[in-house]
Amino acid sequence: MQTHEISSRFLNHFTRNGHTLVPSASLIFEDPNLLFVNAGMVQFKPYFLGQAPPPYDRATSVQKCVRTGDIDEVGKTTRHNTFFQMAGNFSFGDYFKAGAIEFAWSLITNGVTDGGYGFDPDRLWATVYDDDDEAFELWRKIAGLPEERIQRRDGKDNYWDMGVPGPGGPCSEIYYDRGPEHGRDGGPVADEDRYLEIWNLVFMQDERGELSPKAGHKPIGSLPTKNIDTGMGIERVATLLQGVDNVYETDLVRPVIGKAEEMSGRRYGSGSHVDDVRFRVIADHARSGMMLIADGVTPGNEARGYVLRRLLRRIVRSVRLLGVTEPVLGEFAAVVRDTMSPSYPELASDFPRIESIMRKEEETFLSTLASGSRIFDLAADQLKSEGHAQLPGDKAFQLHDTYGFPIDLTLEMAAEKGLTVDETGFRELMAEQRARAKADAAARKTGHGDQTVYRDLLAQGATEFLGYETLSAEATVRGLVREGARVRRAAEGEIVEVILDRTPLYAESGGQESDAGTITGPGVELEVLDVQKVARKLWVHRVRVRSGEIVEGLNVEALVDPEWRIGARQGHSGTHVVHAALREVLGPTALQSGSYNKPGYLRLDFAWSGALSSDTRSEIEEVSNLAVRKDLPVKVVYTDMGGAQELGAVALFGETYDETVRVVEIGGPWSRELCGGTHVEHSSQIGPITLIGESSVGSGSRRLEAYVGMDAMRYLAKERALVQNLATLLKVPGDEVPARVEALVDRLRGAEKELEKLRAGQLLSSAGTLADKAEDVDGTALVALQVPDGVGGNDLRSLAVEVRNRLGSRSGVVALFSTDGDKVAFVVATTATARDNGIAAGKLVPSFVSAIEGRGGGKPDMAQGGGANPGGVAEAVTALRKALTSA
The rounded radius of gyration (Å) of the Cα atoms in the chain is 34
Other beta carbons within 10 angstroms of residue 854's beta carbon come to 20
Annotated binding residue 572: yes
CA 551, CA 50: separation in Å to the nearest integer? 26
- Beta-carbon contacts of residue 408 (< 8 Å; ≥ 6 apart): 317, 321
Nearest partner of 517 among 481, 557, 552, 478, judged by Cα: 557
CA 471, CA 282: separation in Å to the nearest integer? 55
CA distances from 229 to 89, 107, 172, 658 (A): 6, 16, 11, 21
- Beta-carbon contacts of residue 714 (< 8 Å; ≥ 6 apart): 707
Nearest partner of 664 among 677, 673, 653, judged by Cα: 673
- The CB-based long-range contact list for 100-103 (8 Å cut-off, 24+ gap) reads 100/201, 100/203, 100/228, 100/230, 101/135, 101/138, 101/139, 101/142, 101/143, 101/172, 101/201, 102/142, 103/13, 103/14, 103/17
Q: Is residue 710 part of a domain?
A: yes
Q: Give me the CATH number covering residue 106.
A: 3.30.930.10
Burial annotation 612-627 (CB, 10 A radius, 16+ → b, else e) = beeeebebbbebbbeb
CA 496, CA 487: separation in Å to the nearest integer? 9
CA 336, CA 258: separation in Å to the nearest integer? 12
- For residues 159 and 30, membership in a common domain is answered with yes
pLDDT at 794: 78
Other beta carbons within 10 angstroms of residue 1's beta carbon come to 15
Nearest partner of 591 among 306, 309, 300, 293, judged by Cα: 293
Q: Is 838 exposed, middle or buried (0-12, 13-18, 19+ CB in 10 A)?
A: exposed
Q: Is residue 878 part of a domain?
A: yes
pLDDT at 65: 94
Overall domain count for the chain: 5
- For residues 476 and 619, membership in a common domain is answered with no
Dihedral angle over CA of 164, 168, 172, 176, nearest 10: -40
pLDDT at 434: 67
pLDDT at 827: 94
CA distances from 458 to 444, 465, 501, 634 (A): 26, 15, 10, 33
DSSP, res 677: S
- For residues 141 and 73, membership in a common domain is answered with yes
CA 378, CA 383: separation in Å to the nearest integer? 9
Q: Give me the CATH number covering residue 535.
A: 2.40.30.130
Q: Answer whether 355's CB lies under 8 Å from 333's CB.
A: yes
DSSP codes of every residue in 9-31: HHHHHHHHTTPEE-PPPPSS-S-
- The CB-based long-range contact list for 267-275 (8 Å cut-off, 24+ gap) reads 275/322
Q: Is residue 748 part of a domain?
A: no
Q: What is the H or E stretch that residue 573 is in?
A: helix 562-586
DSSP codes of every residue in 326-343: S--HHHHHHHHHHHHTTT
Nearest partner of 126 among 175, 81, 87, 170, judged by Cα: 175
- For residues 277 and 314, membership in a common domain is answered with yes
pLDDT at 573: 97
Residue 861 has φ and ψ, to the nearest 5°, of: -85, -30
Residue 227 has φ and ψ, to the nearest 5°, of: -130, 165
- Domain boundary among the residues 341, 365, 389 is at 365
- Domain boundary among the residues 330, 365, 400 is at 365
Q: Alpha carbon 39 to chain centroid distance?
A: 18
Q: At what angle do helices 329-340 and 351-385 cross, to 10 degrees?
A: 140
CA 448, CA 208: separation in Å to the nearest integer? 10
- For residues 294 and 240, membership in a common domain is answered with no
Q: Answer whether 515's CB lies under 8 Å from 492's CB.
A: no
Sheet with 601-607, edge to edge strand ranges: 592-598, 601-607, 701-708, 689-696
pLDDT at 572: 97
3-state secondary structure of 459: helix
- For residues 455 and 360, membership in a common domain is answered with no
- For residues 62 and 196, membership in a common domain is answered with yes
Residue 551: domain span:
450-560
Amino acid in the structure at residue 671: S
Residue 189 has φ and ψ, to the nearest 5°, of: -65, -20
Mean pLDDT by 10-residue block, N- to C-terminus, for the chain (887 residues)?
Answer: 96 96 88 81 84 88 89 76 94 96 97 96 96 96 96 94 83 96 94 93 91 89 90 95 93 96 95 92 95 88 82 90 91 96 92 90 82 80 85 85 71 82 87 66 42 78 94 96 91 95 95 95 95 90 95 96 96 97 90 91 88 94 97 94 82 66 94 94 96 84 94 92 89 87 89 73 78 91 84 81 91 92 92 93 92 90 92 93 84
- For residues 159 and 278, membership in a common domain is answered with no
- For residues 646 and 771, membership in a common domain is answered with no
- Supply angle C-alpha 861, 865, 870, rounded to 5: 130
Q: Give me the CATH number covering residue 626.
A: 3.30.980.10
Q: Is 745 exposed, middle or buried (0-12, 13-18, 19+ CB in 10 A)?
A: exposed
Q: Answer whether 519's CB lies under 8 Å from 557's CB.
A: yes
Nearest partner of 525 among 485, 498, 564, judged by Cα: 498
- For residues 168 and 273, membership in a common domain is answered with no
pLDDT at 441: 46
Q: Is residue 10 part of a domain?
A: yes
pLDDT at 760: 60
Nearest partner of 358 among 401, 329, 331, judged by Cα: 329
Q: Is residue 593 part of a domain?
A: yes
CA 382, CA 731: separation in Å to the nearest integer? 60
DSSP codes of every residue in 117-168: ----GGGEEEEEETT-HHHHHHIIIII---GGGEEEE-HHHHEEE-SSSEEE
Backbone dihedral region of 135: left (phi > 0), alpha (psi from -120 to 50 degrees) or beta? Answer: alpha
Burial annotation 382-401 (CB, 10 A radius, 16+ → b, else e) = bbebeeeeebebebbbbbbe
Q: Is residue 440 part of a domain?
A: no
3-state secondary structure of 453: helix
- For residues 680 and 796, membership in a common domain is answered with no
Annotated binding residue 679: yes
Q: Give me the CATH number covering residue 875.
A: 3.10.310.40
CA distances from 628 to 267, 409, 536, 580, 675 (A): 59, 55, 32, 12, 19
The reported pTM is: 0.66
CA 116, CA 237: separation in Å to the nearest integer? 12
- For residues 190 and 277, membership in a common domain is answered with no
Q: Is residue 415 part of a domain?
A: no
Q: Is residue 834 part of a domain?
A: yes
Q: Answer whether 91's CB lies under 8 Å from 228's CB.
A: yes
Sheet with 862-867, edge to edge strand ranges: 775-777, 780-786, 812-820, 823-830, 862-867, 854-858
DSSP, res 303: H
- Domain boundary among the residues 560, 586, 620 is at 560
Q: What is the H or E stretch that residue 800 is in?
A: helix 793-806
Q: Where are the alpha helices (DSSP H) in 139-272?
A: 155-158, 234-241, 254-264
Task: Give tens-digit pLDDT for 655-680.
Answer: 566 678 899 999 999 999 999 999 99
Annotated binding residue 171: no
Nearest partner of 175 among 167, 160, 186, judged by Cα: 186
Q: Answer whether 528's CB lies under 8 Å from 43's CB.
A: no
